[in-house]
A = this chain, B = another copy of it.
């Protein structure tokens, strides 16, 4: 169902390409005029070659994916990119891409346009995923929606009046850096008690590791080899959660309390119809996580903005990012985007 809707939203007058740029891999996909993903190509991002090398790989991935789809790259109408970190959508400059060494204020749009000779549009990775959920997934029909993406960190995206909110400096959507516990757990940004430092997968695993050091038991110790719980992945966390491991359940319960407070705070400010939750933690723990968050949100005493708030799980899952990148490419092409220089 969600995929059928995605096809409708993605259809147009040309093939377009989408890139999901991550710290470990670059995923490129080609979308046909009918709105179908006709090829996907995945390559490692690589840490050693520097920024230019990463952009070369992105260009190659697009060329390879196009070739596999039976066209050449210059037949593509546009390339859309979801990139980690702050992106200035107008200029296509990516501020800092966490996990890609040396990446700072990279003119990704210009650099990739120079290599491929076709129009490139760039936006933040979570933001494009939220755009995709809004257009074709769990957010459809909600004029005002909030996307919350807990995983390694916690990303967010806000739709008001059917438009993504970018903010005065393209920094909107950083819901993960909402302070919920002044003086609380340290966040990688330097702050304390941020939602991200309390309820991301990283925060959950860190809390469990601390409890284990204090002598508590968990099935995670058996699941994770050599007891390196601090490096537990989503799948391992999910396994212990599904086994009903007491410590893991307690850790998730703590996290959902903060996720619920974060959602209530943003709901009191914006009163959206719907919150869509996606990202690594949601992929791992699934609907039980959503249900737990929803129960806590609806248990709040101040309910003008929350009593009818719908809290739903991402429908596009892992594809949200690549579909969102394809969507911004499609929209750019259909509105006549050209190579900027």
Contacting pair B265 A178 (CB below 8 A): yes
What residues on B are CB-neighbors of A95 within 8 Å?
A: 304
- Min CB distance A95 to B, Å, is 8
Known A165-B271, A169-B307; 13 more pairs at CB < 8 Å:
A156-B269, A161-B163, A167-B271, A167-B305, A168-B271, A169-B271, A174-B271, A175-B268, A179-B264, A179-B265, A181-B181, A189-B301, A190-B302
A122 CA to B69 CA, complexed, in Å: 57
Query: Which of A143, A173, A182, A308: most chain B CB closer than 10 A?
Result: A182
Q: What is A's interface to B at a CB cutoff of 8 Å?
A: 86, 95, 142-144, 156, 158, 160-161, 163, 165-175, 177-182, 187, 189-191, 194, 257, 261, 264-266, 268-273, 300-302, 304-305, 307-308
A309 CA to B265 CA, complexed, in Å: 20
A156 CA to B268 CA, complexed, in Å: 10
Contacting pair B182 A305 (CB below 8 A): no
Set B174, B257, B270: member contacting A167, Cβ < 8 A? B270
What residues on B are CB-neighbors of A165 within 8 Å?
A: 144, 160, 270-271
A188 CA to B270 CA, complexed, in Å: 21
Given known A174-B269, A269-B158, A270-B158, contact A301–B167 (CB-CB < 8 A): no
Q: How many copies does the complex hold?
A: 2
What residues on B are CB-neighbors of A300 within 8 Å?
A: 191
| Nearest B-chain residue to A268, judged by Cβ | B174
Given known A163-B161, A269-B266, A269-B269, contact A305–B169 (CB-CB < 8 A): yes
Contacting pair A191 B156 (CB below 8 A): no
Given known A161-B163, A165-B160, contact A269–B302 (CB-CB < 8 A): no
What residues on B are CB-neighbors of A166 within 8 Å?
A: 271
Q: 24 A-B residue contacts at CB 8 Å?
A: A142-B168, A144-B167, A156-B269, A158-B269, A158-B270, A160-B161, A160-B165, A161-B163, A165-B270, A167-B271, A169-B271, A172-B269, A173-B269, A174-B268, A174-B269, A174-B271, A177-B268, A179-B261, A179-B264, A180-B180, A180-B182, A189-B301, A191-B300, A191-B302
Set B171, B181, B272: member contacting A305, Cβ < 8 A? B171
The 3 closest A-B CB pairs, nearest first, are A167-B271, A190-B301, A172-B271
What residues on B are CB-neighbors of A177 within 8 Å?
A: 268, 302
